[in-house]
Amino acid sequence: MHETRDPAVAEAPAPPPLAEVLAATRVVAIPTRTRFRGISVREAAILNAPLGPSEFSPFPEYDDAEAAAWLAAALDFGWAEQPPILRDRIEVNATVPAVRPAEVPGILARFPGCRTAKVKVAERGQTIAEDVARVRAVRAAMGDRALVRVDANGGWSVDEAATALRQLADLDLDYAEQPCATVAELVEVRRRLGARPGSAAGTAHARRAATPRPGAVRIAADESVRKASDPLAVARAGAADLLVVKAQPLGGIRRALGIVAEAGLPVVVSSALDTSAGIAMGLHLAAALPEGALAGACGLGTAALLGGDVTIDPLVPLDGGITVRRPGLDPELLDRYAAPPEREAWWRERITRCYTRLLQ
């Protein structure tokens, strides 16, 4: 297990003045190449900040209380010096939306060199049989030596998760991400799939998830960490074998590092269909994690699923990874993908409300 970092790493400086933030803001609306989580156009507020581009892009359905953490992350990354990085390149996974099996090879072609794939399952309106067919298509396209993961975004019940993961057992899954919505459900899924009970008590150094029996599918927690009022509840309950962390919803790189240190579980860093401005934040988080913390390829290649970007140097996979860097914004692309005036106003009002929450 990786060593705990100084808890002070989670402390962020005070935010810059609101007027300065709004002056640095451009709102973009970028089409996706394939419908992803019901989204065909990804909107984001891009901040041309003093220390480099940053991004504020909580999904529209998130309320201000949840979105405020995303704003804290964007301001911290744009206006404050970040923790030092320990590696300059991050291996990433391919991300396969809930497409038909015939579309899988075309999706994988957007992730050159990637030897790990995360496959979206439990899409509303689709069946477990469709999920299994999609995962089998990925395995067939990538071969036996590749790692294949599934991500349900909390969309299965316990019974559905147990059924689906048993049907997928012969495909040698790396792990299943957030198969169910709640921590209690994750605990039950792990029990049904054969996890040995483990100790979740004690200090951060001693805290561990239950150990899966040979052949049991590992469980990763995403929404149960980033959307929870207590992100460490997953580790204490023994509900997961690893965590999927995202810099924006956790409040920034500093806070994410603190959560990882306290949880004491291996992690994968992921994105939320960010532009390259947001991907840069995720790459920096992955690069700053202590040795031994990363649990494999990170979900930071998703800019490849967008039909455009905000930079001419996009952070997309090459030879299975991405070099840690912070590309500059391109004015022409910001203009090309500028959101309609009413959406620009909506995002600016949202920033103002979330900023007020940060000061409370």
**177 is an annotated ligand-binding site residue:** yes
Strands of 127-249, DSSP E? 147-151, 173-177, 219-221, 242-245
Closest CA to 111 of 138, 145, 151, 140: 138
**241 is an annotated ligand-binding site residue:** no
**144 is an annotated ligand-binding site residue:** no
- Those residues whose C-beta lies under 8 Å from the C-beta of residue 229, and which sit 6 or more positions away, are none
Sign of the C-alpha dihedral computed for residues 343, 302, 231 and 325 taken in this order: negative
Bridge-partner residues for 173, per DSSP?
148
Cα–Cα dist 103/92, whole Å: 21
Cα–Cα dist 190/70, whole Å: 30
Q: What is the DSSP letter of 117?
A: E
Cα–Cα dist 169/292, whole Å: 27
Phi, psi of 151 (to 5 degrees): -135, 115
Do the bridges between strand 219-221 and strand 267-269 make them parallel or antiparallel, or are there none, so unpaired? unpaired
Catalytic residues: 120, 246
Q: What is the DSSP letter of 338?
A: B
Cβ pair 298, 290 in contact under 8 A: no
Instruction: Identify the three-state secondary structure at position 92.
Output: strand
| Residues making up the chain, counted from first to last | 360
Cα–Cα dist 305/192, whole Å: 34
Cβ pair 204, 263 in contact under 8 A: yes
Cα–Cα dist 42/9, whole Å: 31
Q: Which two tokens stand for residue 81?
A: 């010096």
Sign of the C-alpha dihedral computed for residues 121, 126, 127 and 132 taken in this order: negative
Cα–Cα dist 183/181, whole Å: 7
Which residues participate in the annotated binding site? 151, 177, 222
Which residues participate in the annotated binding site for Mg(2+)? 151, 177, 222
